[in-house]
Amino acid sequence: MLSLSFISYCSVHMQREMWSISKPKIKNNPKFTLDEDALSIVDTVNFFVYGLTQFFAGAFGDAYSLNYILPASFTI
């Protein structure tokens, strides 16, 4: 479980880091028509979905056995 949780945390962190690095490049590239507001909306939606997922995963983990919830959440 520790290894699975660590891998999940690393993948979320890498995704956030790659988005932070590529956001200025997307904004400055004339090929893309995304402005600062559109990129901010993507950021907001990303954080909202992550927070909502963590909330429901915590609620399910409290209600049911974490040994079943954690592997199931990583396979979905």
Residue-wise pLDDT for 40-69, tens only, equals 888 888 888 878 887 887 787 788 877 777
Calculate mean pLDDT across residues 1-16. Answer: 76
CA 7 to chain centre: 13
Contact yes or no for 27/35 (Cβ under 8 A): yes
pLDDT band for 22, please (50, 70, 90 cuts). Answer: confident
Contact yes or no for 74/61 (Cβ under 8 A): no
Residue 8's pLDDT is: 73
d(CA 48, CA 54): 10
Residue 51's pLDDT is: 82
Residue 76's pLDDT is: 60
Over 80: is that where the pLDDT of 1 sits?
Answer: no
Per-residue CA distances from 34 to 8, 21, 38, 61, 68 (Å): 29, 16, 6, 38, 41
Parent domain of 55: 2-75
Question: How many domains are there within the chain?
Answer: 1
pTM for the whole thing?
0.60
